[in-house]
Structure 1
Amino acid sequence: MLAVEGIEAGYGRTRILHGLSIDVPKGGLIALLGGNGTGKSTCLKVIAGLLTPGAGRVTLDGEDITTLPAEDRPGRGLCLVPQGKEVFGAMSVEENLMMGGFHRRRDKADLAEDLEGVYTRFPRLKERRRVSAGMLSGGERQMLSIGRALMSRPRMLLLDEPSAALAPKVVEEIAEAILGLRELGLSLLLVEQNVGMALEIADHLHVIRGGRIAFSRVVDGGVAPDELRSFYLSGGHDDES
């Protein structure tokens, strides 16, 4: 579904990604792990069209989208759930969700159907649909961010550290929700620092260090956290603030 090939990218004169390549098969759930400053979020920015690479290309279901504007990518089926549980705080939960389908705003019947689908998947959002999004807890905001992305009817979903700053019980809920997205036929690229969560839900792990893939394993019950430690921890400055 998604192919990232030989990406070189950075900010100004600072190069962050050095020939990075990663594939996400149709229906797959791939995890990209790494410490702060290793280039995880930079990779997602390139895929989402928020950062233009200096070299390499990005293809979605065989279509080259390397130079496609970021605002046109959701219409092609690619959607980013950004880090930080970003929501429109002054708007209600339901208004936030409807913003996710903005490019489909003429399809009112389909939007109504998809809205009910999000509420079925996240009953807590339905309970709080009239509440201002700024009043939600961190876990509820994360559910709202994912639900808003689903309103765009994506085929490929990018998730940037969905477990960050959440209590362990809430992390479990988010992990279950992400697994449930596969029932919709979605392909997923999960960027995480939570190794335990990634080991539980991903099909394949990649660890990024210094802007390159340093470690890759299929998750089949045989990947131990100790095996990841020397690859997962790295130094460097945080390029992902």
Structure 2
Amino acid sequence: MLKVDNLVAGYGRTRILHGVNLHVPKGGLVALLGGNGTGKSTTLKAIVGLVKPEEGQVLLDGQPIDAIPAEKRAAMGLSMVPQGKEVFAAMSVEENLLMGAYHRRKDRAGIAADLESVYGRFKRLRERRKVNAGMLSGGERQMLSIGRSLMARPTMLLLDEPSAALAPRIVEEIAEAILGLRELGLTLLLVEQNVGMALDIADYIYVIRGGRIAYERTVGDGIAMEELQEFYLGGKDHE
């Protein structure tokens, strides 16, 4: 579904990614782990078209998409839930959700059906649909951010640290919601610092360090937490 091939990218003269390679199979749930400043968010931004690669390419369903603008990548089914639970604070929950379907705004019947589906998946959003998004809790804003992305009818969803700064109970709810998205047939790439959450829900993990993939493994394939932490914290090199 998604292939990132030897991706080199950064900001201005500062290079962040130094040849990143990763693959997300159709219907899979892949996690990209790493600490602050390792290149996780830059990888996602390059995939969706917010950062222009210096070298390498991104392929979606086998098609190179590097020359396609970000807004057109969204119309192709590529959607991102940004870091920081970003919402339109002065707009209601429902208005935020409808913004996710802006590119298909003429499809009123489809939008109404999708809105009902999001409310069925996140019942607290239904309860608070008329409340300004700025009044929501952190967990509710994260649900809203995910719901807004679903309104775009993506085939692939990228999630940038959805568990950040949330209480453990809410992290469990978000993890369950992410697992539930697979029922929709979505392909998922999850960027996380929460190793435990990633191991609980992902099929395959990559660890990025210094803008390079330092470790990769199928989840359940003999992964020891101690071994993973060594790669995560920089104690080992790629095998």
TM-score of Structure 1 vs Structure 2, range by shorter chain:
over 0.9
SS, match of residue 66 in structure 1: coil
Asked if 1:19 corresponds to 2:19, the answer is: yes
Cα root mean square deviation, aligned:
1.0
CA contact 1:77–1:155 (8 Å) conserved in 2: yes
TM-score (structure 2 length as normaliser): 0.97
Asked if 1:225 corresponds to 2:230, the answer is: no
> Once structures 1 and 2 are overlaid, which stretch shifts more, 110-119 or 60-69?
60-69
Partner of 2:206: 206
The 1-side partners of 2:183 and 2:215 are apart by 28
The amino acid of 1:218's aligned partner reads: T
Task: Kindly state the Cα deviation for residue 176 of structure 1 after the two structures are TM-superposed.
Answer: 0.1
Task: Kindly state the Cα deviation for residue 225 of structure 1 after the two structures are TM-superposed.
Answer: 1.4
The 1-side partners of 2:35 and 2:8 are apart by 19
Partner of 1:239: none
Task: Kindly state the Cα deviation for residue 224 of structure 1 after the two structures are TM-superposed.
Answer: 2.0
List aligned pairs for 1:174-189, cutoff 5 A.
174-189=174-189
The amino acid of 1:16's aligned partner reads: I
Partner of 2:58: 58
The 2-side partners of 1:111 and 1:62 are apart by 29
SS, match of residue 165 in structure 1: coil
List aligned pairs for 1:139-178, cutoff 5 A.
139-178=139-178
Partner of 2:195: 195
The 2-side partners of 1:66 and 1:231 are apart by 30
Structure 2: give runs of 5+ residues left out of the alignment.
none
Task: Quote the sequence identity (%).
Answer: 72
Structure 1: give runs of 5+ residues left out of the alignment.
236-241
> Once structures 1 and 2 are overlaid, which stretch shifts more, 3-12 or 163-172?
3-12
Task: Kindly state the Cα deviation for residue 234 of structure 1 after the two structures are TM-superposed.
Answer: 4.3
Partner of 2:5: 5
List aligned pairs for 1:98-177, cutoff 5 A.
98-177=98-177
Q: Which has the higher contact order (CA 8 A, sep 6+)?
A: 1
The amino acid of 1:46's aligned partner reads: A
The amino acid of 2:108's aligned partner reads: K
The amino acid of 2:42's aligned partner reads: T
Runs (4+) off by over 2 Å: none
The 2-side partners of 1:95 and 1:33 are apart by 33
SS, match of residue 43 in structure 2: helix
> Once structures 1 and 2 are overlaid, which stretch shifts more, 161-170 or 60-69?
60-69
CA contact 1:202–1:219 (8 Å) conserved in 2: yes
